[in-house]
Amino acid sequence: MLTHIHIKNFAVVEDVAIDFDTGMTVITGETGAGKSILIDALGLCLGDRADSGSVRYGKDKAEISASFDLHGLHEAQEWLAKHHFDSDDDLILRRIVTSEGRSKAYINGVPCTAQQCNELGEFLVDIHGQHAHQSLMNKKNHRHILDELIPDTTCLRKVYDLAQDFRSVKKELDTLTQGETDTNDAKAFLEYQVEELQSVILSADELESLEQEQDLLSQGETLIQQLSEASYHCEQQSDGLRQTIRLLESGLKSGLTSEAYELLNSALIQVDEARHDIERRSDKLELDPERLIEVTERLDKIYELARKHRTQPIQLAEKLQAFELELEALLSADERIGELNRQLKDIRAVYGETAKTLSNQREAAGDRLQSEVHSQLQSLAMGNCRFGVALTPHLSDALSPYGAEEIEFKIATQSQGELKGLAKIASGGELSRISLAIQVVTAQQSVTPTLIFDEVDVGIGGATADIVGQRLHGLTSHSQILCVTHLAQVAGQGDHHLRISKTYDEADVRTVIQRLSNEQRIEEIARMVGGVNITEQTKAHAAQLLKQNS
C-alpha cells in the first residue's frame, strides 16, 4: 500500500510530506484548492508524461517521491527481481521534472524509464476517475476483471498454455520452412554431389593400384621390349658364367679356385632366377588399349572432382561423408516439418474446444457481472444506466493466449440507449461510479492494494451520497482507499481526513495539505455542509456524521 508521499515544487505545492494509513482516507477542500494535486503527483511517480508546466513557478525542478509497503505483493516483487531492482518489502518511486521539460525516474534509487514505473504501478495503484491511470479505459483490464469472476480457472490457464505451445511450435516450423525453395535447391544439389562422389570413391590402396595399372598399361609395349632385352642379356651372362666356371674346375682339387668357383656358381643361379622372373612377368604383361582408356578416364574423373572440391584425391571420401551428413540433416528436417504440422493441427483442435468452454464460462460470468453492477448502479443514482459485457470473437485465426474473444465493458446512460464503450459515453463522475460499482462486485477478487477514487460523487447527493460513502468504506476490507470528495456524507465515512487549501501572500500562492484532527474534521465537514457560514447547527450535524460512521 501507499505509505508516504513527498511533493516538492510541484504546481502550487512548495514542500509537502504526507503519511498514509490503511483504511479510507478522504481528501477535501474548497473548489479550486487543488484537491487532485496529490493524484497528479502520484501519477508522475507511476509513469505519467512529464510536463514542464508542472514545475512550480520560479523553480528549477519539481520532485516527487512515493513510498509503498510491498508486503504480500508477490507480483510486484517478482517484477522488481526480474528487472534487477531491489525486491524487499519497501519500495520508493521517485520522479524529477525540470523546468526545461526533462524528466528522470528512479525505482529504489536506481535510474529507470517512465514505462517501467508504469508497468510496476499496475501492481500498486488503481485510480478511478478522469486520469491516465483509470483502469476502465484499458480493455485489457476488462478481461482481467471478468476472468477473476470465473470460479474454475483451469480452462483459462490451459488456453494460455496451449497458445504458448502453438507459438513455440510455429516459431520452430517457420525457422525450418524459411527459404523453403532455397532448401529444396540445396537438397537437390547435395543429392547430386553425393551420387557423383559415390561413383568414384575409393580407398588409398585402390588409388595407388589404379595409378600403377595406368603406368603399366601406358608403357606396355616399351616394357615388353625392355624385358625381352633384359632376358637376352641375362642368358648371355649365364653362358659366360658357365664357361668361366668350367675353366676353374681344374683348380678345385688344390683349393686354388674353390672360393671363386663358389661365388660364380652362386651368381649363375641368381642370374638364371632373374631371367626366369623376367620371362614370367613378360609373359603376363598384355597390351590392353581399352583397359588403359577405362583406367585413365576413371583417374581423370577422380582428379577433376578433387580439383572441384579443392582437396586431395584421397580426401574425397571425407567430402562424401560430410555431404551425406548434411543431406541427412535436410531430409530429417522434412520429417520434423511434417511432425510440427501435425502438432499444430492437434494443438489448434484442443485449443478450439478449451476456448469454447472458456467462452461459455465468460458468458456466465458476464451475465452475473451485468446483473450485480446494474444493481449497484441503481443504488448509486445511476438506475437508468445499463451496463453490458461484450464478447466479440477474434477475426484472426491466430491463437490468442487470452481466449477466442475480445472483452469490453459498455454502458448506456439511458435505459433504451445503445450500449457503447465507456470512453465514448461516460463522464468522469459516471466513470468513477461505474468503477466503484465494479469494485464492490469484484471486491473479493481484487489484488490491487491501493484504490483511488477522484470525484466519485460528482452529480449526486442525499441518500445516494451516503451509499457511495458506505460502498467506498466497504472496500477497505481488502484495499487502502483514497477518495477525493466534495460531499460531507462521503467525507464522514473516512478513517483519515486530509484537507487541501491555498494560502496567499503578496508574493506567492501555496497549496497546503493538512491531516485533520477530529475537531478539525468537524469544522471541515461543517464547511462542506453549510458553506462559509458555519453555525453550531452545522457543526452538530458534522459531529453526528462522524459519530454515526465511527
Q: Which amino acid is at 258?
A: S
pTM of the model: 0.61
Q: What is the pLDDT of residue 154?
A: 93
Give the whole-angstrom CA distance, residue 463 versus residue 6.
36
The pairing of beta strand 450-454 with beta strand 125-128:
parallel
Give the whole-angstrom CA distance, residue 442 versus residue 433.
14
Q: What is the pLDDT of residue 255?
A: 74
Q: What is the pLDDT of residue 272?
A: 82
Give the whole-angstrom CA distance, residue 125 versus residue 25.
14
H or E, element range at 284: helix 258-284
Q: Which residues contact 478 (CB under 8 A, 6 or more apart)?
A: 443, 444, 446
Q: What is the pLDDT of residue 330?
A: 67
- Cβ(120)–Cβ(79) below 8 Å: yes
- Cβ(70)–Cβ(76) below 8 Å: yes
Give the whole-angstrom CA distance, residue 485 versus residue 433.
12
- Cβ(522)–Cβ(497) below 8 Å: no
Q: Which residues contact 430 (CB under 8 A, 6 or more apart)?
A: 382, 385, 411, 413, 459
Maximum pairwise Cα distance, the chain: 173
Burial state string for 295-308 with b = 16 or more CB within 10 A and e = fewer than 16:
beeebeebeebbee
Alpha helices, H only, 178-250: 180-198, 204-218, 220-248
Helices 536-549 + 518-530 axis angle, to 10:
120
What are 437's three cell numbers? 460499482
Q: Which residues contact 67 (CB under 8 A, 6 or more apart)?
A: 2, 3, 4, 5, 90, 91, 92
Q: What is the pLDDT of residue 135?
A: 64
- Cβ(527)–Cβ(534) below 8 Å: yes
Report the candidate in 359, 414, 340, 404 with the shortest Cα–Cα distance to residue 384: 414
Residue 400 phi, psi (nearest 5): -80, 140
In a structure prediction context, what are the per-residue pLDDT tens digits for the chain, which is 550 residues long? 999 999 999 988 888 899 999 999 999 888 776 777 888 899 899 988 888 888 988 889 999 999 999 998 888 999 999 999 988 889 999 999 998 889 999 999 999 999 999 999 988 998 876 544 456 777 888 888 898 888 888 999 999 999 999 999 998 888 777 755 556 666 777 777 877 777 776 665 777 777 776 766 666 666 666 767 777 787 788 888 888 888 787 777 677 778 888 888 888 888 888 888 777 766 666 666 777 777 778 888 888 888 888 888 877 777 888 887 777 766 667 777 888 899 999 999 999 999 999 999 999 999 999 988 888 888 777 778 888 899 999 888 889 999 999 999 888 877 777 888 876 665 556 676 777 777 778 766 666 899 888 877 666 777 777 888 888 888 888 889 998 888 888 899 899 999 998 887 767 778 888 899 999 998 888 888 877 677 788 888 888 888 777 6
Ordered structural domains, the chain, with CATH? 1-124+448-464+479-515 (3.40.50.300), 181-330 (no CATH), 517-550 (no CATH)
SS3 at position 195: helix
SS3 at position 83: coil
